[in-house]
C-alpha cells in the first residue's frame, strides 16, 4: 500500500513539472483542476433574464433592437414628471403609452419608471437653471414641489395618476417605481434630505395601496452610494422602499468596473446595520463620459461589469443606454446602437454575455482572482455544460485549461472554437471555455 502512495505522489510531482514547463520554457498560467471546479450540486438557482436591464431613449427604436434583455428602465425616455403632467391635473400619456405598447405584454421585459423631474408649474424654484443641462433646457426641475412641506399634494396627485394609468393600460404595466434620479447631484435634486424623504414616504404609501404587485425603488445616488444612503436613512428614508438602487459609474470615466465592487459591500453593510433585507440594483451604469475607448475595450468593459456584478450578488444591472442619441459606437454614456448603422460591437457583446449567463447556475463563489490577476468564473450553462469565464485586465497570456475543456467562445460571435494543445490565450476581453458533456 505504501508503494502505491509513493507512486501517486511521484505522478503528481511530474504532472506539475510538466504544466509549468510546457510551451518551450515559457510558463503557463494554470487554471484550477477539474477537482477544484464546484459541482452543480453546490450552485444556486439559475440567473434570471431580468438581471440584464437596459435603458432606451426612443420607443421607435425598440423594434430594431437586436440583443435580448430582461428589464427596461424609463429615464431620459420622454417620461419625466414634467413630460407627463404638463399642467396641474393635465396629463400627456402618449410617450409612456408608446413604451407600454412597445414592451408591454408582447415581450418578457418588465418596466421601471423614474419619477423625477419637477414641472416648472409645481417647482419651489421655477427659475432654477442648474438642471437645464440635464433636462433639455427645463428649469426648476431639480427642486421639490412648492407644497412639499404643506401636504405634498402635487406630488401625491402625480404619483396617484401615474399608478392608475399604468393599471388601466391594456398593453403593459409599470412594475417598479423609482423615487428620484441621482439626488446626490445638484443638477437633479436641490431640496433637503427631509423633503425627499417626505416625497418617498408619500409615493411608497400610494404605490402599495393602489397596486400591491408593484414595488418602490429607492432614490439612486451615484458612485459609492452608501455615503448618501446613510444620511437618507438617518433622515427617515430607511423604510420608504422595497429595493435599493444606485448608479455605479466609476469615479474616473472608463476605469475598470472592478474598481467599483467595494461599493456593493458598503451598501450591504449599511443595510445590515439597519437590519434591512432587500435587493440591491444598479439602475444605471456604463463606462461614463468618455469617447476614447476602442470597440474591444467597450466590449470588455460591458461584459466584465455584468459578470462581476453577478459575482457580487446584485440582482439587476440596467445599462445606460442602448440608443442614447450618439451617432457613434465609441461614444460616452454607453451607446450601443444608432440609426443608419445598427448594433455596435459592444451591443453584440451585451447579447453574448446575456447568452452565457441567463439560465446558467453560478458557483458559490462564482468568481475568483488569481495572483497573476486572472479572473476565473465557474458556472453550469443552461444546457448543462460546465464552463469557465476567463480574463486578465492587465496582460495577455496563455493559460492551461483543466482536463475536459475542449472549446471556447468569445464576445464577438456565436461561434465555438476548438481548444488546441490544452491552452487558450486570454486578455482583457472575457472568453468562455466549455467542458464537453458526459452522458451516462
Percent helix / strand / coil, the chain, rounded to 5: 35, 20, 45
pLDDT of residue 108: 72
Helix (H, G, I), strand (E, B) or coil at 301: helix
CA angle, 157 then 72 then 197, to 5°: 40
pLDDT in tens, the chain (440 residues): 444 444 344 443 434 333 333 333 344 454 444 434 444 333 458 999 999 999 999 999 999 999 999 999 999 999 999 999 999 999 999 999 999 999 976 667 899 999 999 999 999 999 999 999 999 999 999 999 999 999 999 999 999 999 999 999 999 999 999 999 999 999 999 999 999 999 999 999 999 999 999 999 999 999 999 999 999 999 999 999 999 999 999 999 999 999 999 999 999 999 999 999 999 999 999 999 999 999 999 999 999 999 999 999 999 999 999 999 999 999 999 999 999 999 999 999 999 999 999 999 999 999 999 999 999 999 999 999 999 999 999 999 999 999 999 999 999 999 999 999 999 999 999 999 999 876 54
Q: What angle in degrees, to the nearest 10, is found between the helix axes of 193-210 and 153-168? A: 30
CA 257 to each of CA 98, 307, 309: distance values in angstroms, whole numbers, following the listed order: 34, 10, 9
Cell of 222: 451615484
Classify the C-alpha dihedral 81-87-93-95 as positive or negative: negative
The CA distance from 245 to 324, in Å, is: 21
Domains and CATH numbers, the chain: 22-44+363-435 (2.60.40), 49-361 (3.20.20.80)
Give yes or no for a contact between 250 and 260, defined as CB atoms under 8 angstroms apart: yes
pLDDT of residue 4: 40
Hunting for cell 433585507 — which residue is that?
277
- Give the helix ranges, DSSP H, for 122-260: 153-168, 193-210, 226-232
pTM of the model: 0.90
- Nearest by Cα to 402 from 30, 16, 28, 82: 30
Local structure of residue 280 (DSSP, 8 states): E
Helix (H, G, I), strand (E, B) or coil at 248: coil
- Give the helix ranges, DSSP H, for 169-322: 193-210, 226-232, 261-273, 295-311
The CA distance from 161 to 147, in Å, is: 18
Cell of 318: 440596467
pLDDT of residue 45: 83
Cell of 16: 506539475
Q: What contacts 13, CB < 8 A, 6 or more positions away?
A: none
The CA distance from 286 to 229, in Å, is: 21
> 271 φ, ψ to 5°?
-60, -40
> 30 φ, ψ to 5°?
-105, 120
pLDDT of residue 13: 40
Local structure of residue 243 (DSSP, 8 states): B
Amino acid at each position: 500500500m505504501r508503494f502505491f502512495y509513493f507512486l501517486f505522489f511521484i505522478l503528481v510531482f511530474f504532472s506539475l513539472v510538466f504544466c509549468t514547463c510546457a510551451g518551450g520554457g515559457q510558463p503557463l498560467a494554470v487554471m484550477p483542476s477539474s477537482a477544484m471546479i464546484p459541482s452543480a450540486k453546490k450552485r444556486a438557482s439559475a440567473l434570471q433574464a431580468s438581471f440584464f436591464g437596459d435603458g432606451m431613449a426612443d420607443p421607435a427604436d425598440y423594434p430594431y433592437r437586436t440583443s435580448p434583455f430582461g428589464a427596461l428602465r424609463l429615464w431620459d425616455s420622454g417620461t419625466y414628471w414634467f413630460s407627463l403632467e404638463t399642467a396641474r391635473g393635465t396629463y400627456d400619456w402618449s410617450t409612456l403609452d408608446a413604451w407600454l405598447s412597445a414592451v408591454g405584454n408582447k415581450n418578457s421585459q418588465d418596466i421601471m419608471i423614474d419619477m423625477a423631474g419637477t414641472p416648472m408649474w409645481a417647482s419651489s424654484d421655477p427659475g432654477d437653471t442648474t438642471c437645464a443641462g440635464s433636462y433639455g433646457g427645463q428649469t426648476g426641475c431639480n427642486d421639490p414641489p412648492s407644497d412639499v412641506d404643506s401636504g405634498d399634494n402635487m406630488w401625491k396627485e402625480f404619483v396617484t395618476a401615474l399608478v392608475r394609468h399604468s393599471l388601466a393600460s391594456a398593453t403593459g404595466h409599470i412594475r417598479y417605481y423609482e423615487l428620484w434620479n441621482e439626488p446626490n447631484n445638484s443638477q437633479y435634486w436641490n431640496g433637503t434630505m427631509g423633503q425627499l424623504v417626505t416625497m418617498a414616504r408619500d409615493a411608497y404609501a400610494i404605490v402599495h395601496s393602489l397596486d400591491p404587485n408593484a414595488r418602490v425603488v429607492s432614490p439612486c445616488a451615484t458612485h459609492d452610494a452608501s455615503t448618501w444612503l446613510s444620511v437618507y436613512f438617518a433622515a427617515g428614508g430607511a423604510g420608504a422602499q422595497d429595493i435599493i438602487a444606485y448608479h455605479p459609474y466609476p469615479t474616473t470615466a472608463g476605469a475598470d468596473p472592478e474598481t467599483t465592487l467595494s461599493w456593493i459591500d458598503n451598501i450591504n453593510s449599511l443595510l445590515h446595520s439597519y437590519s434591512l433585507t432587500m435587493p440591491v440594483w444598479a439602475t444605471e451604469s456604463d463606462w461614463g463620459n468618455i469617447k476614447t475607448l476602442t470597440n474591444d475595450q467597450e466590449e470588455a468593459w460591458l461584459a466584465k461589469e455584468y459578470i462581476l456584478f453577478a459575482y457580487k450578488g446584485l440582482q439587476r444591472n440596467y445599462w445606460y443606454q442602448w440608443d442614447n442619441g450618439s451617432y457613434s459606437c465609441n461614444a460616452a454614456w454607453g451607446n450601443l446602437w444608432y440609426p443608419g448603422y445598427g448594433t455596435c460591437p459592444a451591443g453584440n457583446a451585451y447579447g453574448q454575455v446575456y447568452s452565457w449567463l441567463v439560465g446558467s447556475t453560478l458557483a458559490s463563489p462564482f468568481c475568483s482572482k488569481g495572483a497573476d490577476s486572472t479572473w476565473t468564473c465557474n458556472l453550469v450553462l443552461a444546457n448543462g455544460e460546465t464552463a469557465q469565464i476567463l480574463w486578465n485586465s492587465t496582460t495577455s497570456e496563455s493559460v492551461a485549461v483543466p482536463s475536459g475543456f475542449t472549446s471556447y467562445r468569445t464576445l464577438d460571435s456565436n461561434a465555438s472554437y476548438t481548444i488546441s494543445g490544452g491552452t487558450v490565450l486570454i486578455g482583457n476581453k472575457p472568453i468562455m471555455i466549455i467542458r464537453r458533456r458526459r452522458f451516462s
